[in-house]
Structure 1
Amino acid sequence: MSLQMNAAELMAFLDEVFPQVREDFAVDDLSENEILMRLIIQDKHLRPGGTVSGPSMFALADCAAYAMVLARIGREALAVTTTCSMDFMRKPVAGVDLLATCRLLKLGRSLAVCDILIHSAGQSEPVARASMTYSIPPAR
């Protein structure tokens, strides 16, 4: 199965179904089995001490997995996270956007499995890693 949406179509769909996070995320790159998604850091993403909060990193991982699944299956707003495991490994660089590289490991009829590595932009060491499973609604 090839891509059903390109990066621009994907961002337009995310803007449509989740306007509340319109200013937070951007797709930097997209291929058949991988997406590079950016969290555009703003004050609302920071915790005391100026580092990015855990919930913001979770949101990046979740949004990247959702976007990767949608890129392959098309416009399906009701795909949902069913499982997440996340490891926070090191402190992100203060004030720097975060990048999530999400690899689609399996795309079945009802489930998709993704692996996500999160880095501070310009850094090679990951700050977090997540594994997510998405439920895909049955075809109507």
Structure 2
Amino acid sequence: MTGAELAGFLQRDFPEVAGDFALEGEGEALALRLLVQARHLRPGGTVSGPSIFGLADVAFYLALLSRIGPVALAVTTGASIDFMRKPVAGRDLIARPRILKLGRVLAVGDVLIWSEGADEPVARASLTYSIPPR
């Protein structure tokens, strides 16, 4: 799926969260931006862990769909996230997903997340997705 197709899919099938994200690039260069707003923050003004995890999960989901097509029922079966440093206050977060193995039934990959303009990532996630039979 192209970047435009993925953005349309997200808007059509997940309208409740689509406005939180902006898709950038496509294919191997796909990135997903979390448009950080007050509802994504926790006390102290940093982006909450659930918001960062959501960004990682959606980024990997879209990377997977870019390879297998619009399979809405592909689901997360395993996930782990490491929070490595505090996000830069007032900046969007950018996720760069990578598919490490794409099989017939499972896809495995990781996602690095940066604060916009920062040199070092704030989080790293490992994800496994189950791909339903066609």
Task: Provide the TM-score with structure 2 as the length reference.
Answer: 0.97
Decide which structure has greater helix share. 2
- Which sections of structure 2, spanning at least 5 residues, go unmatched? none
Map of 2:90 onto structure 1 = 95
The residue identity in structure 2 corresponding to 1:17 is D
Matched, 1:106 2:101: yes
* 1:31-70 to 2 correspondences below 5 Å: 31=27, 33-70=28-65
What is the identity percentage for the equivalent residue pairs of Structure 1 and Structure 2? 62
> For 1:115, what is the secondary structure of its paired residue?
strand
Query: Root-mean-square deviation (CA), in Å?
Result: 0.8
Residue of structure 1 aligned with 2:13, choices 11, 17, 22 = 17
> For 2:104, what is the secondary structure of its paired residue?
coil
> For 2:30, what is the secondary structure of its paired residue?
strand
Map of 2:3 onto structure 1 = 7
Give the whole-Å Cα distance in 1 for the aligned partners of 2:42 and 2:9: 29
- Which sections of structure 1, spanning at least 5 residues, go unmatched? none
Matched, 1:77 2:39: no
Map of 1:27 onto structure 2 = 23
4+ long deviations beyond 6 Å: none
Task: Provide the TM-score with structure 1 as the length reference.
Answer: 0.93
The answer on whether the counterparts of 1:85 and 1:131 sit within 8 Å (CA) in structure 2 is yes
Give the whole-Å Cα distance in 2 for the aligned partners of 1:14 and 1:105: 23
Give the whole-Å Cα distance in 2 for the aligned partners of 1:84 and 1:22: 21
Give the whole-Å Cα distance in 2 for the aligned partners of 1:66 and 1:57: 14
Deviations, residues 45-78 of structure 1 (Å, cap 9, x unaligned): 0011111000000000000000001111101110
The residue identity in structure 1 corresponding to 2:53 is F
Deviations, residues 15-37 of structure 1 (Å, cap 9, x unaligned): 11111012101111112x45211
The residue identity in structure 1 corresponding to 2:3 is A
Give the whole-Å Cα distance in 2 for the aligned partners of 1:116 and 1:30: 15
Give the whole-Å Cα distance in 2 for the aligned partners of 1:110 and 1:28: 27
